[in-house]
Structure 1
Amino acid sequence: MRGPGIPPVAARGAVASVVVVLAVALGVAGLQAGPVVASTARSPIGPVWQDEAGAGGPLDAGGSAPTWAVAGCVQDAQSDVVDLPARTPADVPRADITRFCVDHAESGLSVSMAVRVPTDPTRDPVWESVGAAVAFGYETTGGHRRVINLLRPGSEPRFEYHVLEPGADPVGICSGAASVDDGTYRATIPADCLDAPEVIEIGAQMFYDMSDGPESGAFDAAPGDGGFVAVPRTAPAGAARATRLAGPTRVETAIATAQALYADGTAGAVVLARADAFPDALVAAPLAAALDAPVLLTPRESLSPAVGEEIRRLVGERGDVVLLGGVAALAPAVEDALTAAGHTTTRLAGASRYDTAVAAARAAGPLPRTVVLAGGADFPDALLAGAAAPAVEGVALLVDPAGVPEVVEEYLAEVPDADVIVVGDVARRVVADADGTAAALNPSATSVALLDLYADESEVVLASVEDFPDGLAGGAYAAIRGVPLLLTPAEVLETSVRDALAERGPYQRITVMGGPDAVSDTVAGQAAAHLVPRTAP
């Protein structure tokens, strides 16, 4: 059976993985504006762009404060480097992007990139003659692709940026000095060289050790496996129009979320999860929706007094509380405090996160119409799977990068008539014959691919793709309300999310999970532009 609303493969990028190789000649003074002459040598301005067509906050990658109008940083998953051209996984920390940053203003653009193990391009011989390169791709005001490369053009100890417009006859635009400070690669490009629009759509790539040619070596991209983020030149107004559910900490944010959902004594139960680790709570949302129960967070060792008070408000003195995970996740003292207060407790746990997810699925109901599978080693895909499952009358389970765990296989055998939808690349790789697939270049784009599952798009929930706590409560909030969860970098809006909001809006409500550190006011303002306009009083 075909999973509802999800084609066999969704949102995999419009263009196949092809290395765009530009080989050019440089003068002694560096790249000058005008035609770039092609040659058969390795490009002195870089392998330029791994064209995997996607769409492409206020700190830079080295940690200093921003200086221009709007700045944004994007965290990138670690250990996601691949070897070109085969795109097989590679452990090359010198190519492993940890984050990149963009500072956008009238005067120009500052870009920076941090990698797991940086080297000094002027000293590391691998960088010589463009053996390594940093690339930032963006579109101009006229919609033309341009690339900013940071590289060492020859054997001399020079680190430079080069801006060019790629194509069959690539055009060099300008060049200048780049730098490496505290292990972070940086450059500042003047506005007259950029032709950048008011909102620049930009992504980052890292190439290292192209000793066998420009289509070889270690490669990483951000955000995710590709894509772009949208960075406005001026801070957008209207962030206050978005509904922000937030507290001083993740624990208080979950409480604020519960208070937005339930009046006193109206929750069916409470689902309680550990505040500082995600494995057992990744797929809590279907259980929360089935029990009509918010997800609250508490420290492992003890029950937070504020959480205890909120539980009493939600379910009364003797209401039900479901604990997710074994005693390693929530210590016996947590359960003891709940039972001493008069609550009935149920602990759902197993030998691993995979077993705990199956226990939660069983507790959510006996016969799901759909089983949604996602990788359990990291949180974004699993968080999305949990939030989306109730929209298709389903549950969410986790799979391992090495394969489908036996406990999950056993559960699937018990529900042979259920459709199977896989979310994210890990599940796509290890699950054969799924009825539907949502897997995109990055988790933000994957969240967009899931939008077709929802009948109600009057509201969307926006949470950080970079950290899990607010998303745990937000996923349950979205599941209970039957509305989509979208993931975004904390400081800049991913372009597929922005485009989806524009195409599917305007919305009656956009709910932002967490404070400005989790989802910035810039992102909230960008999203709020797609709310239904206010009417004059």
Structure 2
Amino acid sequence: MIKKSKRSTLLFLSLFSVSVLSFSGNVIKADENVYNIERIAGKDRYETSLNVMKYLMKDSNDLKFGVVASGEDFPDALSAGFLSSEYDAPLILSKKNYVPSNVEKDLKQKNIDNMFLVGGEKTLSKTVENTISQNSKLTTRIAGKDRYSTSEFANIQIAKLYGSPVIGDTSAVYNGNLFADALSATPFMHQYNSVNETKLPLLAVDGKKGAKNYSLIFGGESSIPKFEEEHRLAGSDRYKTAVEIAKAYKTILNKDIDTIIIANGEDYPDSLCAGPLASKNNAAILLTNSNKLNKDTKEYIEFNKNIKKVIIVGGENSVSKDIEKDLEKIIKR
């Protein structure tokens, strides 16, 4: 369901088928002519999401849209990431039963007209909804009976953004039980919809049953069995899949990218906010292990001489200082 509060109405649309810069706490602006590597981090996933928001919004206190998702589980947050990307909105993470005090403080300082909560009350409680409602003019909860229907409802909301009740009968899909493929798929699909007249939803599926045809599949056949598909972007693991998605910016979208977002491919907390960040920066997301730069990720950046900027999302427990040093050497080439 899509439930709205504060004088809202319910509207259903049919689903459309170098110097290294590190910061924690306050966002530091980089001089583009000096800094090639940046790190956005906080003391935890919630503060990291706030610092990503500050980075994206610069110093603006007037935001039209914001999206809130659970920082304790990834399924609904992945749908929230795509919603954030399409609405050009920050993705803000919350606890299940309460909004962290630093998050609530930041929300009070922002004048956000419309807030979307993605997930049911088992994911984001009524208390969270009430807190968010106090800090926005309109609050809309987007939720279904499970992660797959929540994904559908999120895409219905995106269809509303594009003003088309029906946008084709095909879709892009990822396995809703895995976070990594969806993470890299999010900015790619944002760019896809920005350059194509026919907009595609990005849907979570269970990896077992499918629609009549998919335009784009993210992940291998062990993740999503072969269907009547136009494109499948996949590698032998999540790191290689992310690289294949990055390559597809050129082969499918005919776009050159000069920015890479590096996120932890082993765990999701800090990585959740990487999708909207990459979408805003026309960047691809590549994944790494926490302690050593993944070799496929490294090879892609080394081979692509047009990569001028790398943004690391997460603290040194997510992406180590050694990885940062390796990236510095590559970028300085």
TM-score category (smaller protein)? 0.7 to 0.9
Q: Contact 2:85 / 2:279 at 8 angstroms: preserved in 1? A: yes
Q: Aligned partner of 1:459: which letter?
A: T
Are 1:425 and 2:220 matched, yes or no?
A: yes
Q: Contact 2:88 / 2:280 at 8 angstroms: preserved in 1? A: yes
Counterparts of 1:199-218 in structure 2, within 5 Å, are none
CA distance in 1, matches of 2:331, 2:175: 33
Partner of residue 299, structure 1: 95
Are 1:466 and 2:266 matched, yes or no?
A: yes
Counterparts of 1:72-471 in structure 2, within 5 Å, are 240=21, 242-262=37-57, 263-314=59-110, 316=111, 319-365=113-159, 366=164, 371-393=171-193, 394-404=200-210, 409=211, 420-425=215-220, 429-454=224-249, 455-471=255-271
1:482: Cα distance to partner?
2.1
**Structure 1 residues 278 and 426, CA gap change in structure 2 (3 angstroms):** farther
CA distance in 2, matches of 1:298, 1:349: 16
Q: Contact 1:270 / 1:320 at 8 angstroms: preserved in 2? A: yes
CA distance in 2, matches of 1:402, 1:529: 43
| Partner SS, residue 50 of structure 2 | helix
CA distance in 2, matches of 1:461, 1:515: 14
Q: Contact 1:463 / 1:474 at 8 angstroms: preserved in 2? A: yes
Are 1:511 and 2:311 matched, yes or no?
A: yes
Counterparts of 1:473-484 in structure 2, within 5 Å, are 473-484=273-284
**Structure 1 residues 293 and 429, CA gap change in structure 2 (3 angstroms):** closer
Q: Aligned partner of 2:244: which letter?
A: A
Once the two structures are superposed, residues 180-234 of structure 1 have per-residue CA deviations (whole angstroms, 9 ceiling, x without a partner) of xxxxxxxxxxxxxxxxxxxxxxxxxxxxxxxxxxxxxxxxxxxxxxxxxxxxxxx
1:426: Cα distance to partner?
5.0
Q: Contact 2:260 / 2:309 at 8 angstroms: preserved in 1? A: yes
CA distance in 2, matches of 1:342, 1:359: 21
Greater Cα shift, 364-373 or 443-452: 364-373
1:313: Cα distance to partner?
3.7
| Partner SS, residue 425 of structure 1 | coil
Structure with the larger strand share: 1
Q: Aligned partner of 1:246: which letter?
A: A
Partner of residue 298, structure 2: 498
Q: Contact 2:173 / 2:205 at 8 angstroms: preserved in 1? A: yes
Q: Contact 2:142 / 2:150 at 8 angstroms: preserved in 1? A: yes
| Partner SS, residue 64 of structure 2 | coil
**Structure 1 residues 519 and 338, CA gap change in structure 2 (3 angstroms):** same
Q: Contact 2:179 / 2:268 at 8 angstroms: preserved in 1? A: yes
Q: Aligned partner of 2:234: which letter?
A: A
Greater Cα shift, 301-310 or 268-277: 301-310
Q: Contact 1:465 / 1:489 at 8 angstroms: preserved in 2? A: yes
| Partner SS, residue 331 of structure 2 | coil
1:359: Cα distance to partner?
0.8
Q: Contact 1:267 / 1:292 at 8 angstroms: preserved in 2? A: no
1:343: Cα distance to partner?
3.4
| Partner SS, residue 531 of structure 1 | helix
Once the two structures are superposed, residues 400-425 of structure 1 have per-residue CA deviations (whole angstroms, 9 ceiling, x without a partner) of 13323xxxx4xxx7xx8xx6111112
- Structure 1: runs of 5 or more not aligned: 1-236
**Structure 1 residues 531 and 395, CA gap change in structure 2 (3 angstroms):** farther
CA distance in 2, matches of 1:456, 1:271: 29
| Partner SS, residue 264 of structure 1 | coil
TM-score normalized by structure 2? 0.79
Partner of residue 158, structure 1: none
Once the two structures are superposed, residues 37-94 of structure 1 have per-residue CA deviations (whole angstroms, 9 ceiling, x without a partner) of xxxxxxxxxxxxxxxxxxxxxxxxxxxxxxxxxxxxxxxxxxxxxxxxxxxxxxxxxx
| Partner SS, residue 284 of structure 1 | helix
Q: CA RMSD in A?
A: 2.2
CA distance in 2, matches of 1:493, 1:395: 32
| Partner SS, residue 323 of structure 1 | strand
CA distance in 1, matches of 2:202, 2:175: 11
**Structure 1 residues 351 and 300, CA gap change in structure 2 (3 angstroms):** same
Structure with the larger helix share: 2
- Structure 2: runs of 5 or more not aligned: 1-17, 22-35, 194-199, 250-254
Q: Aligned partner of 2:145: which letter?
A: A
CA distance in 2, matches of 1:451, 1:387: 10
Q: Aligned partner of 1:432: which letter?
A: F
**Structure 1 residues 427 and 285, CA gap change in structure 2 (3 angstroms):** farther
Higher RCO structure (Cα 8 Å, ≥6 apart): 2
Partner of residue 75, structure 1: none
CA distance in 1, matches of 2:313, 2:93: 14
| Partner SS, residue 430 of structure 1 | coil
> Which is greater in Rg?
1
